[in-house]
A and B are shown apart, each in its own frame.
Chain A
Amino acid sequence: MNSEQNTARTRRLAFLIPLAGFLVLAGFASLALLATLRGERDMTQLPSAMVGKPAPAVALPDLRDAGSTVSAIDFKGRPFLVNVFASWCAPCRAEAPALALLSEEIEIFGIAYKDKPEDTRGFLATYGDPFAGIGIDRDGDAGMRWGVYGVPETFLVDASGTIILRHAGPIDRRVLDELLRPAIRDLAAGTKP
């Protein structure tokens, strides 16, 4: 009688195993969802393999000086930002004010990604020009060396030329105040002594 009850109970419990498995999975999923809703996890940010690696030294035609070339390593020696942008990219317009603010704190090297030089010039005339130097990446070759997925993307590079941080997507207030500015400040504090 007792063993009968036990068997019946075990049978019922065994039937619950898949349910328990499902609940565990659902638990993980809801944790991830909660973190996303709270803003602790950003689903749009993919991991970058370039952080910690040296900035690619691709020489690009200089937008401002036809005939000469410009490259990210020209900026080596002090921390700098690299911003990959294009005149055809709407979020690039949105981040123009943020870049203008940043240009007061740090030099910005612009990579005009898959853009016609005359379009790039028109874009800069309309939305302002925060760049200390601009390279023309007509076919997206440099973008690929930087591991760019799409425009805009922004990289922070330290004085030794190592990529410290990557942000994909436009720089909004939050990215500016909570990500880029603290990182730039840390870098400045670290390199001074």
Chain B
Amino acid sequence: MRLPRIISALWCVAAFSMVLSAPLPAVAVTPEEMLADPALEERARTLSKQLRCLVCQNQSIDDSDADLARDLRVEVRRQLSTGSSDAEILANLRDTYGDYVLLNPPVSPGTYVLWGSPVFILLAGAAIIMAGRRRREDAGGTVTEDPAAPPAMPLPPGTRRTAIALGSLVMAVSLGLYLMLGRADLPGQPLAGRGAELAAAADASNAQTAERQADLDEARSAAAASPEDVGAWLRLAMAAAAAGETNTELAALEQAEQLTKGDPAIRAMRAEAMSRAADGQVTIPARELIADILTEDPSEPRALFLSGLAAYQDENFGAAVEIWLRLQSLSAPDAPWMALLADNIADAAQAGGIDLDAVTAARGPDAKTMAAAAEMSDEDRAAMIEGMVEGLAARLAEEPGDAAGWQRLARAYDVLGRPEDATRAMIGRADAMPGDAGAQLAALEGVVVNRLEDGFAGDAGRLLERIASLAPNQPETLYVRGHFAKLSGDVDTARALWQALLDRLPDDAPIAGQLRDAIDAL
């Protein structure tokens, strides 16, 4: 029974400190908001105290300086002046902002627990106290009579006093600390003692700014003196960028761009400046510019970098890694942006949970491997390429769904002079994208061009079936199906298909004559 008493003592101290820490009532309403009629103003104040400031969430709009709170106060007063009742005003605001706008939540199924729990806790507490009292009355004499029963709490003498003293000390110290340092209404701590340090830093930065401004002025007059000199405009743009004057930078770059008739590198610099003006965000206008540059010059490094950055900012990390890796493979190993680029790629890969090794492996040889290949003897190079091709083929055997991988493999076999393997890879690609008529036709074309009809009869049949349903009337489909029909000895079908093709061709088409001969030969 002693320990509970200590606890209740501590509770009293805690409750006291909480009362002290409750914010003093602050009022945010300003004189110009107030209504002339004191009775209406009084109602407005009462209403305001019941409405939650939705952006501060635990203040009423009467207490809050937030913009939205002010708007709501004005709205409440506007509705009051038009004669709405208090209940109507609350209902209107509740319609727009929901129950949440009311500081006193309404009783509804969702808030039964909220409203019920204090009552429940009170009743439960009363029940416990009653039960305890009855038990003590029952136990009355028996406890002392029984020598075997130990005292309820066998504490050594003095423990109770020590515990109370310790507990009070802890409470008093924390309360004191709170009142001295932690109170919400304390003024901000001045930066006393840091004055000299701050002044020195300000001096240094002022000197730097002045220097940059001087550079900028010089560059500006140089550009004005020779307005036909692209270099002068570019120097002005750089000086403006250093001085943080993006508008001047953009204007200078536009001049340089006009002089060079839209040089992609200068346009890319402008896209970069546009992004810098927008605090680093690759904005939509900048993206449009970048897209233009890349259609003209797909390997413009600055545009590629920004395009990767745009993807990164869209959290499209796969695309960002892809674009930046491309830039990496296009760049010289000692290009100034390589370190930053590598960091960015690692960042994007981590953010997107992308396994960089897998991506680089799938992309095929990178710049480094290619550079190594250039220094090798022809035999070594062929061996290296074959090694890589086999690696790719092995991977595709496990992941046959990678259509782009199949295409890369086919191209590699073509280069190595292995048409049969190339055709097999194209068939793999067609199987990887069974809904793509173009892929089926490309593979079939490989079979026909390389005269591999005998070896690939089964595959060809499968692909033919697919194109017959995917693109039955496409000229290539008609031709290829006719070709295979002829090979299988089905002359009638071949003739019908080729005739259909011939009907679709203009009479003067160069192949029309050949086709007519072929039909006659049937």
Contact = CB atoms under 8 A, between A and B. Distances in A.
A37 B430 CA distance: 44
B97 A100 contact: no
Given A21-B121, A173-B314, A4 B128 contact: no
B248 to A, nearest CB: 16
B128 to A, nearest CB: 6
B316 to A, nearest CB: 7
Given A14-B128, A149-B68, A125 B94 contact: no
A47 B99 CA distance: 9
B100 interface: yes
B94 A49 contact: yes
Interface of A: 1, 4, 7-8, 10-11, 14-15, 17, 21, 46-50, 53, 93-94, 96-98, 100-101, 114, 125-130, 140, 143-147, 149-150, 172-174
Nearest to B281: A93
A114 B100 CA distance: 24
Nearest to B278: A126
A17 B124 contact: yes
Chain A interface SS verdict (over half): helix
A96 B281 contact: yes
Contacts of A150: 55, 68
B435 interface: no
Interface stretch (B25-33, B206-214, B283-291, B381-389): B283-291
A96 B68 contact: no
A128 B4 CA distance: 67
Contact of B287 (A97, A145, A147, A172): A97
Nearest to B97: A147
Nearest to A99: B284
B187 to A, nearest CB: 28
Given A11-B135, A15-B4, A97-B314, A144 B124 contact: no
Counting contact residues on chain B (CB < 8 A from A), the size range is: 35 or more
B71 interface: yes
Contacts of B390: none
Interface in B82-125: 94-100, 121, 124
A21 B146 CA distance: 34
A48 B96 CA distance: 8
Name the 4 nearest CB pairs between A and B, nearest first. A128-B284, A49-B98, A173-B315, A147-B96
A96 B75 CA distance: 31
A4 B124 CA distance: 24
B299 to A, nearest CB: 24
B80 interface: no
Given A17-B128, A49-B94, A49-B97, 18 more contacts: A1-B146, A4-B142, A7-B135, A7-B138, A46-B100, A96-B283, A96-B284, A97-B310, A100-B284, A127-B281, A128-B287, A140-B67, A140-B71, A144-B71, A144-B96, A147-B97, A149-B54, A149-B55
Given A93-B281, A97-B313, A10 B135 contact: yes
A1 B143 CA distance: 10
Contacts of B146: 1, 4
A145 B98 CA distance: 13
A125 B285 CA distance: 8
B520 to A, nearest CB: 51
Contacts of B314: 97-98, 101, 173
Interface of B: 4, 54-55, 67-68, 71-72, 75, 94-100, 121, 124, 128, 131-132, 135, 138-139, 142-143, 146, 148-149, 152, 274, 277-279, 281-285, 287, 310, 313-316
A53 B97 CA distance: 12
B418 to A, nearest CB: 43
Contact of B100 (A7, A14, A47): A47
B98 A144 contact: no
B284 A130 contact: yes
Contacts of A97: 281-284, 287, 310, 313-314
Given A1-B146, A14-B131, A126 B283 contact: yes
A8 B153 CA distance: 11
Contacts of B135: 7, 10-11
A190 B178 CA distance: 59
Given A7-B135, A21-B121, A126 B279 contact: no
Given A11-B135, A144-B75, A49 B278 contact: no
Contacts of A21: 121
A126 to B, nearest CB: 6
Given A47-B100, A49-B94, A97-B310, A7 B283 contact: no
A46 B54 contact: yes
Contacts of B75: 144
A127 B131 CA distance: 71
A93 B279 contact: yes
A100 B282 CA distance: 12
B278 to A, nearest CB: 6
A128 B99 CA distance: 37
A145 to B, nearest CB: 7
A129 B281 CA distance: 15
B68 A127 contact: no
A181 B350 CA distance: 25
Contacts of A146: 96
A174 B315 CA distance: 9
26 contacts: A4-B143, A4-B146, A17-B124, A47-B99, A47-B100, A49-B96, A49-B97, A49-B98, A49-B100, A94-B281, A97-B281, A97-B287, A97-B313, A101-B314, A114-B67, A126-B283, A127-B283, A128-B283, A128-B287, A129-B284, A140-B67, A144-B72, A144-B96, A146-B96, A172-B315, A173-B314
A7 B96 contact: no
A173 B71 contact: no
Contact of B96 (A1, A4, A50, A172): A50
A126 B250 CA distance: 12
Nearest to B313: A97
Interface core residue of A53, A101, A127 (most chain B CB under 10 Å): A127
Contacts of A47: 98-100
Contact of A145 (B96, B138, B274, B277): B96
A10 B152 CA distance: 13
Interface core residue of A97, A98, A173 (most chain B CB under 10 Å): A97
Nearest to A28: B113
Contacts of B121: 21
Contacts of B139: 7
Contact of A127 (B67, B128, B284): B284
